[in-house]
Structure formats: C-alpha cells, structure tokens
Amino acid sequence: MDFTELVDLASERLGGAVLYANDDFFAPKENLLKQSAPVFLEGEYTERGKWMDGWESRRKRTPGFDWCIIRLGLSGVIRGAVVDTSHFKGNFPAQCSLEACARGGQPDVDELISDSTEWSEILPVSTLQGDSLNPFSINTETRFTHLRFKIYPDGGVARLRIYGEVVPDWQRLERRGGEIDLAAVEHGGLVLACSDMFFGHRHNLIMPGRGINMSDGWETKRRRGPGHDWVILRLGR
C-alpha cells in the first residue's frame, strides 16, 4: 500500500497541532496542518506582506534553520511524509528534515525542547521543490507522539502530512474500561480498500465524531449495473 493511503497522524481533525515555531512572521504555523488544500489569493496582502496559506518564516541572515514542534493527533508508526510547498515558488525552503520522539502524557513545549527529550532523526536533510508535493518514505518501526520539523534555511511550507499506522496506548484504554470501537481510527482501525470512493474518501468511515455533511463520509458513484460496493476494514485489535 502506498503510504499516502494511510492515515495522516498529524491531521488537525484528529487532534494534531503545531505547538511552537521559532518564527512564523509571514504566515502562522497553524496553517501547516489544515485539512483543506492550500489556496492562493491573488492581490491579498497583510501588514507584513503577501498573504500565504501555509507556515512562512522571515529571511534568515545567519547560518541555521527554522523549526516547529508538532503534536501528532494520534500516536503511531510513521511510514511517510508529504511536504507540500504549493504556491511557494520563490520563497520555499531549500531543504527540510524531520525528528520524532515518544513522550507520555501531555508534555508542554518547555519539556519537549529540554535535554530530557530524546529526538530521533527519521528524515535526514532532504531537498525540496517549490510549488510541489514532496513525498518522502520513512523507515521506522517506533511509535512516536511528537515531531520536530526543520526547514533550511527559512521560507514557506503550505502543508505537512504525516502518514502512518495508529498505535494506541492499549494499557491506558484497558484501565479506562468500557467498550472500545475496534474499527475507529483512534484505536488503530484502517480501511484497507474499497470498490469506489468517487464522492467521499473511505477513511471518513472511521473518523471520530459525527459527519459534518455529505462530503464527510464514504460515498460511491451511482451503480447502474449488477453488483454492489464494498469496503475492507482492518480492526485495531
């Protein structure tokens, strides 16, 4: 399975958040994990310059890099990342890298940037193309909870997608007691395949909460011949 067919562990919808960025002067860090595709608004400006739908730092005059700390919405094993630089043409970073860690509870930014946090490099410094989807496969079997995303030396990134397999904290869930929805994405459920998803993506079936509207579900094209539509789900346990 292509890693982009897996769940986006950093999705804003699943609780992912950019907790801190060292610089987001031109465009706020929160844009990085938006569920919607990035857009470009011709002629739209802010008091700081051109409005951009992404995270954008100032031009760096000294050696180094810019970085942000991301809390994954769901902890898990990361299989790949897509660094989306859509609409960033002359102001995208030349390179990027990713580090990850596993921390229990709800650590704050001070804890995450302290020496007590052990970061593991999961994506070495890699070249980026502007106004493009930049996919990177990641080879690890470790469960992670947080990321440190670095851009070299500065610039703008529209979206960051972190695809992987959810690994729940089963001990915590068992201590909590009660019934567990084994098909739910937060408990490791995954829709492996479907016959068709023309109108709505198959992963919508296992997302938390209630659907927002018709687009927030699994919907196929109308079938005019014999047969039926189907999905195959893998339970979390």
pLDDT tens across 136-152, in order?
A: 999 999 999 999 999 99
Per CATH, which fold does 3-166 belong to? Jelly Rolls (2.60.120)
CB of 136 within 8 A of CB of 81?
yes
Q: With a threshold of 0.75, does the pTM exceed it?
A: yes
Give pLDDT, residue 194.
95
pLDDT of residue 177: 85
Report the distance separating Cα 70 and Cα 9, nearest Å.
11
pLDDT in tens, 158-205: 999 999 999 999 988 888 888 999 999 999 999 999 999 999 999 999
Structure tokens at 18: 């950019």
- Token duo for residue 109: 């930014």
CA 99 to chain centre: 14
105, pLDDT greater than 90:
no
Which comes out higher in pLDDT, residue 104 or 188?
Answer: 188
Given a cut of 90, is residue 28 above it in pLDDT? Answer: yes
Query: For 170-234, which CATH class?
Result: mainly beta
What residue spans in the chain does CATH classification 2.60.120.260 cover? 3-166, 170-234
Mean pLDDT, range 125-135, rounded to an integer: 98
Cβ(153)–Cβ(171) below 8 Å = no
- Report residue 1's pLDDT band, with 50, 70 and 90 as the boundaries: confident
DSSP code at position 146: E
Would you say residue 225 has pLDDT above 90? no
